[in-house]
Amino acid sequence: MSPNTVLRALSDPTRRRIYERLRRGPRSVTELARHAGVSQPAASQHLRTLRQAQLVTDRRVGTVRLYRTNPQGLVALRTYVESLWSDALTAYASDDSAPRKRGRK
């Protein structure tokens, strides 16, 4: 999955609230809708986007569908952020105008 897809999925505040709730454990659409303050159909739409971004998975338990986070969904985003950090550190280290630590006297 591309980091852009993951970033787009998490850019919506309601989807982030749903995702954050799922970090605490599996939840039903009804629970997630209530927590996010949206209708059940709206929560389902948000969950579909999160599922397409591979951030969540779902499974049926009787008549209820439970959603949970998918740790693999964050791999592309983590790799992207780590590359930004690495590039920033490299640029900082090679910048002659960077402040230097003073030696002890």
Residue 16 has a pLDDT of 96
Q: Supply the pLDDT for residue 15.
A: 97
The reported pLDDT for the residue numbered 90 is: 78
Question: What average pLDDT values come out for the chain (105 residues) when binned by 10 residues?
Answer: 91 96 96 96 98 96 95 90 81 68 61
Identify the pLDDT of residue 12: 97
Neighbour-count burial for 3-39, b at 16+ CB within 10 Å, e otherwise: bebbeebbeeeebebbbebbeeebbbbebbbeebebe
What pTM was computed for the model?
0.78
Q: Which domains does the chain have, with CATH numbers?
A: 3-93 (1.10.10.10)
